[in-house]
Chain A
Amino acid sequence: MAKESLVIIDYGSGNLRSAAKAFERVGADEGLDIDVIVSGKAEDVLNASRIVLPGQGAFGDCMKGLSSVDGMVEALEESVLQKARPFLGICVGMQLMATKGLEHGDHKGLGWIDGDVVPIQPEDKALKIPHMGWNELIPTVSEGSKDGHFVLRSIDSSDNYYFVHSYMVQCKDTHHVLANTDYGGPVPAIVGRDNMVGMQFHPEKSQQAGLRLIADFLQWTP
């Protein structure tokens, strides 16, 4: 098998070195031969065998940042939609997979997951926004079954993952929601279809539980 390469897309949205370290650590621990690079170049996205799209800040700013990189959206579409390479969106990177974002106006997303990014509105008004801190994942497909998702196979109901967000992806097709978390009602925590997954929480900040999800993403062959 050819050496794998993973690109973490750098489009001016925060620090990516610690994220890169998390992926490198997992790659080494799992004995995977994988190069991790942080890059803002479309050609690196085209050449990578796995793609991670992080994201921090407001949806509109992130989409603008991503679109302003020459050829980046096209490279993503080619690699993810046509060549079906494994893709992971994290936090706002996950939200960008949706049709549009409603944070500070109405912004077009990548449109890979049919749905809108809307404010979290917990039924219990005492709940704080942002949803900030550690929360569980509730997979929507039964673990270990033949329909179970490879990337979700290590999730244990007692594990917690680090969330920090005020908006959530409201999927039109409920099949795209692979796991929810509970914050005054279900909040999509992992979405996906085909070769793509998006995580609303930060696996790279979620200690061992998060690193296990990264390990599964790195070994996923959709």
Chain B
Amino acid sequence: MLKTRIIPCLDVSEGRVVKGVNFVDLIDAGDPVEQARLYCEQGADELCFLDITATSDNRNTILDVVSHTAEEVFMPLTVGGGVRTLEDIRNLLQAGADKIAINSAAVNNPDFVKEAADKCGNQCIVVAIDAKKTGDHWEVYTHGGRKETGIDALEWAQQMAEFGAGEILLTSMDRDGTKSGFDLDLTRSISDAVSVPVIASGGVGTLDHLVDGVKEGHASAVLAASIFHFGEYTIEQARQAMHDAGIAVRT
């Protein structure tokens, strides 16, 4: 039976791990390779690096982080943040990433996803969607939640799956950094509407939130950063909580 995945996410800026609360007030907290090794030992199912390096001069630092990590940690690695071109994707895959998350570049040019999936395979293209509630639906935002696009998140997810995304990484911008739990309505609406796996993200503050994301949000995987990163909970505790709730996880 396929297991529900628990994915710790590391925000990386200029080669260092940071994690923002609502994307501001960044706190420097460590070496990404060390963190990755720790998560691997704890039995994380995958790892996600989100590169939030602001200046293009320092963008190549993520390639070093990825290659050092991939040489030491034998588990799937997703990398996102600032991916704009096929060359960016190729460079990250060459460095050892398994999956590449595309966000703004997909919004700017949806055909980019098609092209990337054709060239590299659907399995390595993850479309990251940052969604924010607007009235009775959710809209896609870019630029770390600062820029609205007017695109309906549900329709967008369906279109991206059709265009070849192998997976959707869905972040609620309303919940991100709040520790109040996933936006379960959003997660369920999108999980139920697409044929590809959906990773729930944004808002995890307790282990119950992870359980809810799967049971009520119908997510295939749950992603969290701060609860793991600051040592509030271990991956093992997360897995135990999910197991106790009757969710199939890796033992």
Contacts and interface: CB of A to CB of B under 8 A. Distances in A.
Interface of A: 14-15, 17-18, 21-22, 25, 56-58, 127-136, 158, 160, 162-166, 182-183, 202, 204-207, 210-211
Interface of B: 1-5, 40, 43, 45, 67, 70-72, 74-76, 93-98, 118-124, 166-167, 195-197, 220-221, 250-251
A1 to B, nearest CB: 27
Contact of B2 (A134, A205, A210): A134
B196 A211 contact: no
B94 to A, nearest CB: 5
B90 to A, nearest CB: 9
27 contacts: A14-B94, A14-B124, A15-B70, A15-B96, A15-B97, A17-B70, A17-B96, A18-B71, A18-B74, A21-B71, A21-B74, A56-B123, A57-B119, A128-B195, A129-B195, A130-B122, A130-B166, A130-B196, A132-B220, A133-B221, A134-B5, A134-B45, A134-B250, A135-B3, A160-B3, A162-B75, A205-B98
A132 B123 contact: yes
Nearest to A20: B71
Contacts of B67: 17
Given A132-B166, A132-B197, A160-B250, A182 B75 contact: no
B168 to A, nearest CB: 10
A120 to B, nearest CB: 11
A58 B119 CA distance: 9
A91 B162 CA distance: 23
Contact of B122 (A158, A166, A204): A166
Contacts, number: 99
Contacts of B120: 14, 56-57
Contacts of B3: 133-135, 160
Main secondary structure of the interface of A (DSSP, over half): mixed
A182 B1 contact: yes
B220 A133 contact: yes
In the A-B complex, the 10 residue pairs with the closest CB atoms: A57-B121, A18-B70, A18-B96, A134-B3, A128-B197, A21-B71, A164-B123, A160-B250, A15-B96, A134-B250
A53 to B, nearest CB: 16
Contacts of A136: 1
Of residues A17, A129, A133, A162, which shows the largest number of chain B Cβ atoms within 10 Å of its Cβ?
A133
A105 B102 CA distance: 27
A210 B96 CA distance: 17
A202 B94 CA distance: 17
Nearest to A57: B121
A25 B72 CA distance: 9
Nearest to A56: B121
A132 B4 CA distance: 10
A186 to B, nearest CB: 12
A205 B74 contact: yes
Contact of B74 (A57, A135, A160, A210): A210
B96 A207 contact: no
A160 B75 CA distance: 12
B227 to A, nearest CB: 21
A64 to B, nearest CB: 13
Contact of A135 (B2, B119, B195): B2
B42 to A, nearest CB: 11
A134 B228 CA distance: 21
Nearest to B249: A134
Given A17-B96, A183-B2, A128 B74 contact: no
A56 B96 CA distance: 13
A119 to B, nearest CB: 12
B166 A56 contact: no
A160 B248 CA distance: 12
B6 to A, nearest CB: 10
B123 A15 contact: no
A41 B94 CA distance: 19
Nearest to B119: A57
A56 to B, nearest CB: 5
